[in-house]
Amino acid sequence: MPRKPRKGDVAADEAVYGAIRRAMHMGRLAPGTKLQEPALARVLKVSRERVRKALHRLVHEGWLTAVPNRGTFVPSLTVEEMRQIYDVRSMLEAAIVRRLSEGHTQAAAKKLKAHIAEERAALRSDDRGKLFKLSGEFHVLLAELCGNDELTKLLRSLLTRSTMHFSLAAPQQMNNCAGPHDHGDIADAILSAKAEKAGKLMLAHLTGLVALQSARPPSARPIDLAEAFRGV
């Protein structure tokens, strides 16, 4: 019988997975970067098997692309593909915030406030990787609070690709530009039952993200893995 994974094994696997995700959120892995097991194992000081499990999981979740007979790569997303994704997101998310504004539970309000507090803490500590992770989770949380599993799955699939592009194209410092800073205003409109305002703020937020990314396409420069994972 196969050995049952120990708690330490699970924690180590999660740490490798988290390190790769964090490097991606920090914008350190450019589109087209090939993630090779031996190189990653050396940099992260873990076994190739652990790296392989993390890569397989990231491919399954849509964060990485596996090309038969070639390897695993950080996916590329053209500006036009990015615009189309945000077009669909705009249709969905404007409706989501309007619905939440028209009715939400106290528990939903508590979750929303807690999430905004986390984002602000990450912004104060200048933790770009955590901030970008939380930024994507904010949009998923809004869908989850609607209580529709199919809606949440659809939005999550769109966010996987658009969040990756945003982490690669956004500036290192998010100083009052389109991005997480808008989330507090959107949350305030929802909690104040201002449906029309919430919808307009969400549309402006997403439009700003498209403009930001279109102006600064992701760099395609070669990546040094040791540098990419430094501090991760």
Convert the pLDDT of each residue in 51-64 to its tens digit.
999 999 999 888 88
pLDDT band at 1 (very low <50, low <70, confident <90, very high): very low
Predicted local distance difference test score (pLDDT) of residue 149:
94
pLDDT digits over 2-14, tens only? 444 455 588 888 9
Structural domains of the chain sorted by starting position, each given as residue range(s) with its CATH number in brackets: 7-76+218-228 (1.10.10.10), 79-215 (1.20.120.530)
pLDDT digits over 175-198, tens only? 444 455 789 999 999 999 999 999
In angstroms, the CA 195 to CA 171 distance is 31
pLDDT digits over 69-117, tens only? 899 998 877 778 888 999 999 999 999 999 999 999 999 999 999 999 9
Predicted local distance difference test score (pLDDT) of residue 209:
86
Predicted local distance difference test score (pLDDT) of residue 177:
43
pTM to 2 decimal places = 0.72
DSSP code of 176? S
In angstroms, the CA 188 to CA 59 distance is 36
3-class secondary structure, 5: coil
3-class secondary structure, 72: strand
User: What burial class does residue 143 get, using C-beta atoms within 10 Å of its C-beta: 0-12 exposed, 13-18 middle, 19+ buried?
Assistant: buried
Element (DSSP H or E) covering residue 67? strand 65-67
For residue 129, give every residue at least 6 positions away whose Cβ sits within 8 Å of its Cβ, in sequence order, or none: 22, 23, 25, 26, 232
In angstroms, the CA 48 to CA 42 distance is 9
Predicted local distance difference test score (pLDDT) of residue 174:
53
